[in-house]
Amino acid sequence: MGTKRSAELLKRALCSIPGGVNSPVRAFKAVGGKALFISKASGSKIYDVDGNQYIDYIGSWGPMILGHANPKVVSALKKAVSNGTSFGAPTALEIALAELVVKAFPSMDMVRFTSSGTEATMSAIRLARAYTKRDNIIKFEGCYHGHGDSLLVKAGSGMATLGVPDSPGVPQDLAKHTFNALYNDLDSVKAIFEREPHRVACVIVEGAPGNMGVVLPKEGFLTGLAALCKQYGALLVMDEVMSGWRLCYGGAQKVYCIDPDITCLGKVIGGGLPVGAFGGKKAIMEMLSPSGPVYQAGTLSGNPIAMTAGIETLRLLQQKGVYEKLFKTTEALCSGVEEIAARRNVKCRVARAGSMFTVFFTDAHVQNYADAKTSDIGRFSKYFMAMLKNKIYLPPSQFEAVFVSLAHTNADVEKTLEAVDRSFKRL
């Protein structure tokens, strides 16, 4: 089956939507392809408007950890929708999800819901600045924390994909408050703190970066960051929008034993509906309006539909054996790719964090953005296109993560690895 209808829709979309998409990485621009228009998804499969079925490894860029249209989530949503979709007033559902979140993340005493991860990180930065009465922030090259102005400096994800280090439209007066350090390099952070000992409000870091592709923190890197923050009176903001429920139930901070001051969440927490959250220590969180003076708000924040999807998803993730299954599938895929690469003599590195992974087409051990950029992008594009031809739907960029779900079966793994073999044979 071809992709004629997708091509027609793209042509139409280009007239009314910039680039034809509502988020840049969806455009397949980095791989020289054309976006597919999707009609439906179920379990591990996604279907385009031409009727092609693919094994989906994007999972809506992370949220669909249970697989698409999980029957329990769908049934809870149907019930919730019939009670009204948004009230702009508090509900018991918000408390239920908040309680699940603070229980999962002991570093958080309190949590505030937003409608996206971007809003969560943006608000966390404002809060950190207000709490410390300082303006500057430290982030890491290649880490992506949504598209808030302060954070769009040398960012990963779509910025890395499109090769644009900084976005026009971010005032220089604001960008000058963002300092970039090198991921996995504590000295680069220390140097900034030594230069600005009393002016850094926070360090923001992805729990396990997934937006320059998956990169793992070196031993001692995150604890070293926490110690530097403490030494210089800055807050540690851990962005677990991706890693939150992907590394384990409790996120990267549980795996690496970190107690951040503020944590940002998104993706899985909304079970496929728009939810973000930021939370942390009571003294910090109580600075938020209306308890305190730091303003933050949202018309649809905490709406009952989004809360229902989040609650149901987190409940299902608490079932016994869930993470064992998820990691077994992910491991089978990663070790399968490594085995095929060795046999086919394809130079690549597989980096895995929980249920996310990236195949980097480089022989460098990827520890930061500069290493990630040594990847052969042309090769990645060939690989991506060959996989798509074999009906495997991967993230269309070298600098993103593959997301495995609980709905992926052994048969999916087998089919995927067969496609990898066919694709690597021709690289």
* Residue among 141 and 261 whose Cβ is closer to ligand HOZ: 141
Q: How far apart (Å, rounded) are the C-alpha atoms in residues 313 and 269?
A: 7
Round to whole Å and give the CA distance between 134 and 232.
Answer: 12
Q: Are 21 and 35 in contact, with CB atoms under 8 Å apart?
A: yes
Closest CA to 57 of 424, 415, 376: 415
Q: In the complex, what is the shortest distance from the CB of residue 381 to ligand HOZ, in angstroms, rounded to a whole number? A: 18
Q: Which of 107, 180, 211, 301 binds ligand HOZ (CB under 6 A)?
A: 211
Active-site residue 382, yes or no? no
Out of 26, 177, 352, 382, name the contact with ligand HOZ by CB under 6 A.
26
From 44, 114, 157, 368, residue interacting with ligand HOZ (rule: CB under 6 A)? 157
* Residue with smallest beta-carbon separation from ligand HOZ: 23
Helix (H) or strand (E) holding 203: strand 200-206
| Stretch binding ligand HOZ (CB under 6 A), from 12-20, 22-30, 84-92, 353-361 | 22-30
Convert 152-188 to b/e letters by CB count within 10 Å (16 or more is b).
bbbbbbbbbbeeeeeeeebeeeeeebbbbbbbbbbeb
Q: Are strands 262-265 and 235-239 parallel, antiparallel or unpaired?
A: parallel
Q: How far is the CB of 313 from ligand HOZ (least distance, A)?
A: 18
* Catalytic pick among 29, 45, 154, 267: 267
Binding part of the chain for ligand HOZ, among 23-31, 42-50, 104-112, 331-339 by CB under 6 A, reads: 23-31
Residue with smaller CB distance to ligand HOZ, 276 or 304: 276
> Smallest distance from the beta carbon of 358 to ligand HOZ, in angstroms?
12
Query: Among residues 37, 54, 61, 256, which is the contact residue for ligand HOZ, using CB under 6 A?
Result: 61
Q: Tell me whether residue 272 or residue 336 sits nearer to ligand HOZ (CB atom).
A: 272
Q: Please, which of residues 395-414 interact with ligand HOZ by CB under 6 A?
A: 400
Is the CB of 61 or the CB of 105 nearer to ligand HOZ?
61
**CA 154 to CA 163: how far, in whole Å?**
10
Please state the closest distance from residue 311 (CB atom) to ligand HOZ, in A.
23
Nearest approach, Cβ of 118 to ligand HOZ (angstroms)?
A: 9
What is Dmax (Cα atoms) for the chain? 61
**Residue 267 appears among annotated catalytic residues:** yes
Q: How many residues bind ligand HOZ (CB under 6 A)?
A: 7
- Asked if 213 and 160 touch (Cβ cutoff 8 Å), the reply is no
Stretch that binds ligand HOZ, among 20-28, 63-71, 124-132, 199-207 (CB under 6 A): 20-28
Residue 77: count of CB within 10 angstroms of its CB: 21
- Residues 58 and 264 sit within 8 Å (Cβ to Cβ): no
Q: Smallest distance, Å, CB 25 to ligand HOZ?
A: 5
Nearer to ligand HOZ, 265 or 341 (CB): 265
Q: Residue 114's beta-bridge partner residues?
A: 276
- Across 110-135, b (16+ Cβ under 10 Å) vs e yields bbbbbbbbbbbbbbbbbbbbbbbebe
Chain centroid to CA 340: 27
Closest to ligand HOZ by CB, 61 or 369: 61
Query: Shortest gap between Cβ of 39 and ligand HOZ (angstroms)?
Result: 17
| Residues 6 or more apart whose Cβ sits within 8 Å of residue 179 | 136, 137, 138, 139, 192, 196, 200
* H helical segments located in 233-376: 251-255, 282-285, 304-317, 322-344, 369-372
- Which entry of 239, 261, 371, 412 is annotated as an active-site residue? 239
In the complex, the smallest distance separating the C-beta of residue 56 from ligand HOZ, rounded to whole angstroms, is 13
Q: What angle do CA 31, 273, 285 make, to 5 degrees?
A: 110
Question: What character string, x for contact with ligand HOZ (CB under 6 A) and - otherwise, covers 165-204?
Answer: ----------------------------------------
| Residues of this chain, 347-386, that bind ligand HOZ according to CB under 6 A | none
Strand partners, 276: 114
Q: Map tokens 């040594």 to a residue.
A: 374
Q: Which of 54, 57, 131, 144 is catalytic?
A: 144
Catalytic (active-site) positions = 144, 239, 267
> Which residues make up the interface to ligand HOZ (CB under 6 A)?
23, 25-26, 61, 157, 211, 400
